[in-house]
Amino acid sequence: MRNVTVPLIVIRHDWMPKVVHKNMVLNMKRLLLLSLVLRLFDLSLPLLRPHENALFIRKSEREIVLLLLYVDDVIITGVNADGIFDLKASLHRTFEMKDLGSLSYFLGLEVISTVDGIYISQAKYASDLLARAKLTDSRIESTPLEPNIRFIPMDGIVLDNPTLYRQLVGKLIYLTITRPDIAYPVHVLSQFLSAPRTTHYVAVLRILRYIKGTIFHGLHFSAYLSLSLQAYSDVDWAGDPTDYRSTTGYCLFLGDSLIFWQAKKQTFTT
């Protein structure tokens, strides 16, 4: 089955006086736009998951239109171009807005739309991350983590200045938006933010060198989408040598498109 794909549209709006404090402006903008969108969509919050109160969905027998709000930017997509046009016209009648056209870059995400589907990556973000870590050599790694390696809080020497480690791990967490292949090692190393040591920092550098060799990897959402839902899971069985708790990883595919994944340390020892 071939789904009809409609380009994602980005709109930036600006309708509040500039003399008001910036944070107040953003909050007032958000409240006004939320109020308008609720009227247009005839929906009440929350939608999808309880904390996702910026995604709005209008569904009818012939169309689905989605609107995602982030501060003063709006992304609109759907399966029917007429529905997108009608929503944009309704917004333009109320607010002064600038249509930025098809979505290509948003919050570090690079979006490429083709007849085969949509490809999302964070190549520029990853490149900036490598520059921040000052990895100028040509060395790369074939895997993000050494096989069967285990970390404990007392390994190595405490870093004199843990700031860079924390910054790099924080940026790697954001990179997992399109890089599920590094979700597990990033999750493991994020557990040592309070007192990182040299062994942990070396492991972070290995992840970065792996990214350097796979910088254009990302997610592809096919236009020829099967509605077959498949799930996979794995666990490292008492992988933490300190508390013997396991880390579980799982992912969901819709057809051949990866739509969800997570690596999470279990709460209790099994």
DSSP 253: E
Distances (CA, A) of 208 to 79, 171, 262: 38, 11, 20
* Domain 9-103 fold: TATA-Binding Protein (3.30.310)
pTM: 0.76
- Nearest 5°: the CA angle 190, 196, 199 is 95
**Residues in the chain with pLDDT values less than 70:** 1-53, 269-270
d(CA 119, CA 173): 20
Q: What is the location of CATH 3.30.310 in the chain?
A: 9-103
Q: Give the pLDDT of residue 217.
A: 95
Q: Give the pLDDT of residue 37.
A: 59
Quick one: which H or E segment has residue 168?
helix 163-175
pLDDT, one tens digit per residue, over 238-266 is 777 777 788 888 899 988 889 888 888 88
Angle, helices 163-175/198-213, rounded to nearest 10 degrees = 40
Q: Give the pLDDT of residue 16.
A: 35
The separation between CA 30 and the C-alpha centre of its own chain, rounded to angstroms, equals 21
Q: Give the pLDDT of residue 73.
A: 79
Spatial contact of 265 and 254, defined as CB atoms under 8 Å apart: no
Spatial contact of 126 and 178, defined as CB atoms under 8 Å apart: no
